[in-house]
Amino acid sequence: MTAAGATRPPLAVVVLAAGEGKRMNSRLHKVLHEAAGRPLLEHILRAVAPLNPTRTVVVVGYSGDEVRERFAGRGLTFVTQDFSTGYGTGHALRESAAALEGFTGNVLVLNGDGPLLTSATLLALVNTLGNESGMALLTCTTADPTGLGRIVRNGNGELSAIVEEKDATQAERALNEINPGVYLFDSDVFRRATLLRNDNAANEYYITDLPKAYLADGYPVRTLLADERELLGVNDRAQLATAERILRQRVTDHWLKAGVTMLDPNTTYIDDGVALGRDCVLEQGVVLRGSSRVGEGARIGAYSVLTDAAVPAGAVIPPHTVS
C-alpha cells in the first residue's frame, strides 16, 4: 500500500478492445454500444481519468477504424492487434508495447467492455501495489463462474494461479472466486509478456499466465476483492441492458442527492451527460438525453423527452414536450 503522501510511479492505461464481439450480433463495434447515453469505452475512460494516466492505449482489431474515428482527438493511442502473430489477451498486451516505447511506470490493463468500474476501485487497485515491483489484480466472487478464469489460492490464502476454465480441473471449476480481467503491472510486464506461450487448450497467449511468472521470480501478486456489480462485462444485449440499468440508477441516485426532485424515479431516464440544477422537478416519465441542461428550480412536465436541450432556471416545460 502506498503510504500517505508517497509518490506512485507514472501510470499507463491499456484498454483491450480487439475482440469481435460476436455475441452482440451487431455491425457496431462492441465498445461503441451505448449505456446511459455514452459508449462503453467512454465510461471506462471517464473512470481512469482521475488516476491521471501518462498515456492511454486502446488495442483494437475487428472494426477498429470505427473506434478510432469515434474517439479521435481524445489523446488516445490506438494499436491494431496483428492476429497473424497470435491471439489472446496476453498477445494483445504484448502488441500494446509498441505504443508505450520509452515509458517507465506501472501499467493498468482493462477490458473495453467493462463500463461499471469506478474510479475509487481503480485507485484502490493502484494503491494496492504502490511502489512495489510485482503485480496486482481485482477479483470477485460470483454464484455462477461459468466461462470465467478461477482464482486458485494456496494454504496461506495467497494467489497461486489463475486458471482458465478450458484448462481447469473439476475441483478448480468448483471455485467461485473469479478473475474479471483488471490488472496492474510493474514496468517489467512487457518483457514478461514476450515470454508467454500458447500451449494451452485455446492456443492463445493468456495474460493470466503472468501471475505465475511474477511469483516464480519472487515478486508479489496482490489481490483486491471488488464488488461483483462493478465487474460485469458486456458480451451480449442482455448484459448491455443490465449495465444500462445499473448506470442509470447511479445517475438517478446522484441527482437525488444533489437536490433534484423526481416524482417517479423508476420512470425517469437521465443520460450521464445531463446537468440538473438544484430544486428542479422532473415529473413522471421524463427522458433527458445527450447534453441537456436544466436550470435551478425548473419543472419538466410528465412524459417530456428533451435532447441536448437548454432549460432556463425557473422555466416550466409542459407535459409531453418533445424537443
Pair 265, 256: CB distance under 8 Å: yes
Please tell me the distance from the alpha carbon of residue 143 to that of residue 94, in angstroms, as a whole number: 32
Catalytic residue among 8, 23, 293, 299: 23
* Structure-block grid coordinates of residue 27: 455491425
Establish whether 229 is a catalytic residue.
Answer: no
The Cα–Cα gap between 189 and 135 comes to 9
Residue 257 CA to chain centroid, in angstroms?
Answer: 25
Paired with 184 in beta bridges are: 108, 136
Question: In what helix (H) or strand (E) does residue 65 lie, and over which residues does it extend?
Answer: helix 64-70
Rounded Cα distance between 59 and 14, Å, is 7
Residue 212, number of CB atoms within 10 A of its CB: 14
Residues 7, 130: Cα–Cα separation, whole Å: 8
Q: Determine the straight-line distance between the first and last CA of the chain, rounded to whole angstroms.
A: 51
Question: What's the DSSP call for residue 280?
Answer: -
3-state SS, residue 249: helix
Distance CA 297, CA 285 (A): 18
CA distance 32 to 37: 11
Report how far residue 56's alpha carbon sits from residue 51's, in angstroms, rounded to the nearest whole number.
Answer: 11
Half-sphere exposure of 151 (CA within 13 A, CB side): 22
CB 115 within 8 A of CB 235: no
Q: Inter-axis angle of helices 119-129 and 40-48, to 10 degrees?
A: 50
Give the residue numbers marked as catalytic. 23
